[in-house]
Amino acid sequence: MSASESTAGCWRRIGVYGGDQSCPQLATEIHCRNCPVYRDAARTLLRRAIDPLPPLSSALSATRAGNSRSVLAFRLGAQWLGLPCDHIAEVAPDHPPRRIAHRGDRRVEGLVPIRGELHLCVALIEVLGLGPRDQVGGDATRLVLLAPPQLAPIAFRASEVAGLRAVAGDKIGEVPATLPRALAACLAGVAVTAEGRLPLLAGAALMSALEEALYQ
């Protein structure tokens, strides 16, 4: 067994994240997030490129009947948004992000567990210029896992997820000039739904904004 294999996930076995805290490095590092092994694992997540995950399920796949499409409606702070389902891998219960050392001043909130896997979590509310990350929280908060093409999945925390909405192509209007610039740059238009007007995120533009937040 190689050294990298023997230390893989050590923070869950002998560290502070569910382990027995018997790791001798804790005497000097105090916490796993200060340890080079944990930092290297985080960097690996930043660099890895993998095949995209399949969509949520057949129920959450992008369905088109005529000119309509299916989007996931969610809220960031006070702003409701829609995102095409073919960009979504999963919606999961909220978990407080585990901070990555030396990245607390950026839009990366940390690492979040989804189905036993750690994923990078980005403060989408800040990326879109809708407010600070502390506006996302509460019992209704959910994790949304995105599946960018040829990149590792990326998660963000949503204040609330309302579920699927059917959007007719002929009911999508232009983006108003009154919206925040960062948000407007990621929109494909504004849809008219039964609940009101719903800004629709453009998948490619959103992924570019998230990638910029990760690597710049």
Supply the pLDDT for residue 192: 80
| Residues 124, 198 share a domain | yes
Both 20 and 127 in a single domain?
no
Which pLDDT value is given to residue 45? 61
User: pLDDT tens digits, residue range 141-195?
Assistant: 999 999 877 678 899 999 999 888 888 777 788 888 888 899 999 998 898 877 7
Same domain, 114 and 18: no
Residue 3 above 50 pLDDT? no
Q: Are residues 83 and 25 in the same domain?
A: no
Average pLDDT over residues 78-103: 86
Please indicate, yes or no, whether residues 62 and 158 belong to a single structural domain of this protein.
Answer: yes
Domain of 164, CATH number, reads: 2.40.50.180
Question: Are residue 85 and residue 112 in the same domain, yes or no?
Answer: yes
What proportion of the chain, given as a percentage, has pLDDT over 70? Answer: 80
Mean pLDDT of the chain: 79
User: Residues 172, 105: one domain?
Assistant: yes
The answer to whether residue 90 sits within a structural domain is: yes
Whether residue 53 is predicted with pLDDT greater than 70 in this model: the reply is: no
* 169 and 65 in a common domain: yes
Q: Do the domain assignments include residue 53?
A: no
The verdict on 140 and 35 lying in the same domain is no
Q: What are the backbone angles phi and psi of residue 201, rounded to the nearest 5°?
A: -75, 140
Domain that holds residue 13: 3-47
Q: Give the pLDDT band (50/70/90) at residue 131.
A: very high
Same domain flag for 99 and 25: no
In a domain, 52, yes or no: no
Residue 2 has pLDDT above 80, yes or no: no
Tell me, yes or no, whether 101 and 29 share the same domain: no
In the predicted structure, residue 47 carries a pLDDT above the cut 80: no
> Does 179 map to a domain?
yes
Across 66-82, average pLDDT: 86
User: Which pLDDT score, from 0 to 100, does residue 75 have?
Assistant: 94
Angstrom distance (rounded) from CA 62 to CA 211 = 23
Number of domains in the chain: 2
Judgement on whether residues 64 and 38 belong to the same structural domain of the protein:
no
